[in-house]
């Protein structure tokens, strides 16, 4: 039976919304709404030993005559979908499931955050967010000439900045407090990095993640959220470097690799207070043969291992394994994906002891970051070019 190995059964819910993106070209529709199907095609549910909670069907994508300067594109539809998503998540959280929400664009965070805010209003508690993303997504009318795409503004929106139709559903503004959010994986040159610093949102850029290491970063994030009643994980796949995963809607050089992501996720979801995770912005339109989807599924299965497999870790009496008949994503030689090579972190603090890590395909750990060209893909997040 699904979920027998874990106290909280993994439950997959599709959120195939692309309402938070602007059209890639005139009359075209962004492809990230296809992501849940692409990931399911690679046996994600079976490999996670997960329950299937179905799909929250979004409204039709139709920006109409929207143009930059007209406010948030399809704001009413984004708000309506956030309510529907929150209503579907609420019973999963109440039943003590571990939701894995498959987006879709980053505006689905509004639904997750609204679900947590409603839950907090009922039980008098606060909930937190670990925001793993290649961008801050903190654009709002107070720091930008215009707003346009909720999928590039969701962190601002869930903290109460922006269009009231999106920030104040049910009169619950803000859905999350700045001090209850931790941002991981942004680039040093992010346009709104100083804004989240001024807002009191702690963050670590990719170079800091590598310098500190994934276990210590996860422990740091969890400690900052230790006075909340639990935290949600937002994973925008553009946190990965485009040399590893170019099939995203806003690729940005200088990201992390698969091995780093797997270890960061595993250390976060192993925290008892981790309530669930959403996965966003993977775009199958840039993955015609499905190979990137397969690699991403491998990484998600490995990263979520503490939730689907609670047996003893390797080196203890019984080694962890995937459900019978499934390949293990930690094995070397998975197509073009990174090889499994064990390396040691240089000079870890004595208190932490020795830490072993695999390579990421980017040659991590490195002394200095190395810029590598990615595959150019236009951004759908409505940022000024």
Q: Which of 14, 36, 57, 68 is nearest to 380 (CA)?
A: 68
User: What pLDDT, on the 0 to 100 scale, is given for residue 26?
Assistant: 83
**308, 277 in Cβ contact below 8 A?**
no
Q: How far is CA 266 from CA 93, 133, 271, in A?
A: 20, 16, 9
Interacting residues of 242 by C-beta distance below 8 A, sequence separation 6+ = 248, 251, 252, 253, 255, 374, 375, 377
> 231-268 as b/e, with b when 16 or more CB fall inside 10 Å?
bbbbbbbbbbbbbbbbbbbbbbebbbbbbbbbbbbbbb
Q: Dihedrals φ, ψ of 141, to 5°?
A: -60, -20
Cα–Cα dist 129/109, whole Å = 10
Predicted model pTM: 0.82
How far, in Å, CA of 140 to CA of 126, rounded?
A: 24
**DSSP string of 145-180?**
S----GGGTHHHHHTT-S-HHHH-GGG---SS-GGG
Interatomic CA distance for residues 170 and 114, integer angstroms? 9
Give the side-chain half-sphere CA count within 13 A for 219: 6
As beta bridge partners, residue 101 has 13, 278
pLDDT of residue 191: 96
Q: Cα 201 to the chain's mean position, in Å? A: 17
pLDDT for the residue 317: 54
Closest CA to 76 of 64, 92, 93, 68: 64
Domains of the chain: 10-358 (3.40.800.10)
Per-residue pLDDT at 66: 83
pLDDT of residue 313: 55
Tokens of 314: 């390797």
171 bridge partner residues = none
> Which uninterrupted H or E stretch holds 306?
helix 305-308
Q: In terms of Cα–Cα distance, which of 131, 127, 176 is closest to 275?
A: 127
Distance CA 188, CA 203 (A): 11
Q: Are 83 and 166 in contact (CB under 8 A)?
A: no
**Alpha carbons 42 and 44: distance in angstroms, whole number:** 6
Tens digits of residue pLDDT in 193-237: 999 999 999 999 999 999 999 999 999 999 999 999 999 999 999
Q: Name 231's Cβ contacts closer than 8 Å, sequence gap at least 6.
A: 127, 128, 129, 130, 180, 222, 225, 271, 273, 274, 275
| 8-state DSSP, 249 | S
Rounded to 5 degrees, φ, ψ at 272 are -55, -30
Instruction: Mark the ranges of the chain whose per-residue pLDDT is less than 70.
Output: 1-7, 310-385
302-330 pLDDT per residue, tens? 999 999 986 665 555 554 444 433 333 33
Q: How far apart are CA 23 and CA 350, in angstroms?
A: 51
Tell me the β-bridge partners of 107.
none
């Amino acid at each position: 039976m699904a979920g027998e190995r874990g106290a909280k059964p993994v439950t997959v819910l599709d959120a195939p919304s692309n309402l938070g993106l602007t059209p890639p070209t005139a009359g075209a529709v962004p492809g990230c709404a296809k992501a849940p199907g692409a990931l399911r095609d690679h046996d994600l549910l079976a490999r996670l030993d997960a329950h299937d909670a179905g799909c929250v069907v979004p409204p039709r994508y139709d920006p109409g005559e929207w143009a930059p300067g007209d406010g948030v594109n399809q704001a009413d539809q984004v708000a309506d979908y956030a309510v529907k998503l929150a209503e579907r998540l609420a019973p999963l959280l109440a039943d003590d499931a571990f939701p894995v929400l498959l987006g879709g664009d980053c505006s689905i965070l509004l639904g997750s955050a609204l679900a947590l805010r409603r839950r907090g209003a009922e039980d008098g508690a606060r909930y937190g967010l670990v925001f793993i993303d290649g961008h801050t997504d903190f654009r709002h009318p107070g720091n930008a000439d215009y707003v346009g795409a909720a999928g590039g503004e969701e962190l601002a929106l869930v903290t109460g900045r922006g269009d009231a139709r999106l920030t104040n559903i049910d009169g619950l503004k803000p859905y999350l407090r700045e001090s209850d959010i931790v941002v991981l994986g942004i680039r040093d040159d992010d346009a709104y990095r100083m804004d989240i610093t001024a807002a009191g949102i702690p963050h670590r850029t990719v170079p800091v993640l590598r310098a500190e290491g994934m276990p210590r970063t996860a422990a740091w994030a969890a400690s900052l959220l230790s006075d909340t009643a639990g935290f949600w994980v937002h994973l925008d796949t553009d946190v990965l470097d485009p040399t590893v995963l170019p099939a995203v809607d806003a690729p940005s050089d200088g990201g992390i690799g698969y091995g780093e992501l797997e270890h960061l996720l595993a250390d976060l979801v192993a925290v008892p207070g981790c309530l669930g995770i959403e996965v966003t912005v993977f775009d199958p339109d840039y993955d015609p043969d499905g190979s990137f989807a397969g690699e991403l599924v491998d990484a998600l299965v490995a990263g979520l291992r503490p939730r689907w497999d609670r047996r003893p870790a390797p080196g203890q009496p019984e080694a962890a394994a995937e459900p019978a008949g499934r390949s293990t994503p930690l094995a070397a030689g998975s197509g073009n994906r990174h090889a499994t090579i064990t390396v040691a972190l240089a000079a870890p603090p004595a208190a932490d002891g020795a830490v072993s890590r695999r390579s990421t395909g980017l040659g991590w750990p490195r002394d200095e970051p190395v810029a590598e060209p990615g595959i150019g893909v236009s951004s759908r997040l409505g940022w000024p070019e």
